[in-house]
Amino acid sequence: MRKIFLWFIFSVCIASQTDAQKTIAIKCGQLLDTKSGQILSNQIILVKDNKIDGIVSANAFNQKTDSFIDLSNYFVLPGLIDTHTHVLLQGDITSDDYAVQLFKESIPYRTLRAVRSAKISLENGFTTIRDLETEGAMYADADIKKAINNGVIPGPRMFVATRAINTVGHYPISPKEFNWELDLPKGIQEINGADEARRAVREQIAHGADWIKIYADRGYYQLPDGSFRSLPNFTAEEINAVADETIKSRKKLAAHAMTRDGILAAINAGAISIEHGSGMDDECIKLMVQKNVYWCPTIFVNEYVAEGRAKAGSIINMQFKQAAPALFKKALTAGVKIVYGTDIGGYDWNLPQAKDFEYMVQWGMNNIKAIQTATIVAAQLLDQEGLIGEIKSGAFADIIAVKGDPTKDITLLQQVQWVMKDGIVYKTSK
């Protein structure tokens, strides 16, 4: 018995010694400093365990490391961050697509599909995601996050919102067309009144929510002058209760909000990020700049679903699509903090996750600034500055590589060739 115990202690010591000494040198053809926007050549990144230990010139490098990775034919940058995903959703162009997932698939089945989504995100080069609600899959996002953190499955770093909150009967996609006698799952947690709002926030945080998400408006429509309006979902008491409870727990509030009817209420209550915002007006833009609120425009998803939804009888996404380029330019010029978020899961996980970059650049943002939306700006939003979104000493070893220069051709980010997260390589080029 004692012998076994001593052997155990000995093994643990050996293991930790080996782990502590695990060092990797990565030689980069080109390396992007996401903070300054500078491209460095002939650099070596030193990785120790799961962190970056330093960056040195390849010419001056003479250190012995446990392994050496040669990326001298690649352009290297930090792992990307997608601040709006749904791992538990597999595309919902129409409400029928949504109904199949909520009413015909169990949460365990949806979670198995989410395991695949998480792996795809990592292989796409998005090594961190903010997953903005499970769409009826309760707290399964917190389990996916736990399984990734415990090394059970591969996947990105996750910040999760669990169930999201809306008021009774106001979720845009609801089982309205189904027999009212059926007790069907809902895409969000419904509340009524300030007390229930506080309870929902407390429950979600207790079950692992890093963020609280609300749906601030619904029923979007366009006026003859081209502006957009909607119906607000919360009373002032309700939205303030959600925000107050969130902020008191040192969490942050994200608001799905399309027009001024939702956006202004959400920002005034204390929301940090506006999701979609496809129908925002000048006053919203001004308030967002004033209050340092992030805009997560989720461009490709709207472009992608617009036609299918128009065919199914709803033209609003088509109208948002027509307004999108001018709105993006206006917000960019005004200095709104634009952060990268795709809403993938709202569209099929087999479609590109890096597609939004293309629109951003087409609509006037320069390539480096576009990359920054998914690196340093996203890290700021997540309170992870210096830990993700940058290749520097002390940051997590989340590193990706592409062939060619994405500061010249942004579409290259749709073909990430090599991915490391936490010092472990998950994808190598073919």
- Residue whose C-beta lies closest to Zn ion: 343
- 398 and 388 in contact (C-beta within 8 Å)? yes
**In the complex, minimum distance from the CB of residue 344 to Zn ion, in angstroms, rounded to a whole number:** 9
Nearer to Zn ion, 343 or 422 (CB): 343
**In the complex, minimum distance from the CB of residue 346 to Zn ion, in angstroms, rounded to a whole number:** 5
394 exposed, middle or buried (CB, 10 Å; 0-12, 13-18, 19+)? exposed
According to DSSP, the β-strands at 252-259 and 273-279 are: parallel
- The token duo for 220 is 């979007």
Nearer to Zn ion, 255 or 327 (CB): 255
**In the complex, minimum distance from the CB of residue 190 to Zn ion, in angstroms, rounded to a whole number:** 18
Nearer to Zn ion, 90 or 417 (CB): 90
**In the complex, minimum distance from the CB of residue 350 to Zn ion, in angstroms, rounded to a whole number:** 18
Q: Which of 143, 245, 261, 343 binds Zn ion (CB under 5 A)?
A: 343
Nearer to Zn ion, 341 or 389 (CB): 341
Q: Which of the stretches 122-130, 135-143, 310-318, 342-350 binds Zn ion when contact is defined by CB under 5 A?
A: 342-350
Element of type H or E holding 130: strand 126-131
**In the complex, minimum distance from the CB of residue 275 to Zn ion, in angstroms, rounded to a whole number:** 6
Three-state secondary structure call for residue 67: strand
E-assigned strand segments in 298-398: 337-338
List the one residue out of 17, 15, 18, 42 whose CA is nearest residue 29.
Answer: 42
Nearer to Zn ion, 343 or 358 (CB): 343
**In the complex, minimum distance from the CB of residue 342 to Zn ion, in angstroms, rounded to a whole number:** 9
**In the complex, minimum distance from the CB of residue 188 to Zn ion, in angstroms, rounded to a whole number:** 11
The contact mask relative to Zn ion for 64-83 (x = CB under 5 A, - = no) is: --------------------
Q: Which of the stretches 159-167, 284-292, 312-320, 343-351 binds Zn ion when contact is defined by CB under 5 A?
A: 343-351
Nearer to Zn ion, 43 or 342 (CB): 342
Nearer to Zn ion, 65 or 189 (CB): 189
Distance CA 135, CA 189 (A): 9
Nearer to Zn ion, 217 or 343 (CB): 343
DSSP tally for the chain: helices H, then strands E: 13, 19
**In the complex, minimum distance from the CB of residue 301 to Zn ion, in angstroms, rounded to a whole number:** 8
Location of structure tokens 């979670």: 111
Q: Which of the stretches 29-37, 57-65, 140-148, 340-348 binds Zn ion when contact is defined by CB under 5 A?
A: 340-348
**In the complex, minimum distance from the CB of residue 278 to Zn ion, in angstroms, rounded to a whole number:** 12
Q: Which of the stretches 107-115, 150-158, 237-245, 336-344 binds Zn ion when contact is defined by CB under 5 A?
A: 336-344
Bridge partner residues of 255 (DSSP):
214, 274
Give 355-362 contacts, CB < 8 A, sequence gap 24+.
Answer: 355/299, 355/300, 355/414, 356/297, 356/298, 356/299, 356/300, 357/410, 357/411, 357/413, 358/410, 358/411, 358/414, 359/299, 359/300, 359/303, 359/324, 359/328, 360/299, 360/328, 360/410, 361/410, 362/325
| Residues between 388 and 407 that touch Zn ion (CB under 5 A) | none
247 exposed, middle or buried (CB, 10 Å; 0-12, 13-18, 19+)? middle
- The token duo for 238 is 């309700």
Nearer to Zn ion, 90 or 367 (CB): 90
Instruction: Return residues touching Zn ion (CB under 5 A).
Output: 343
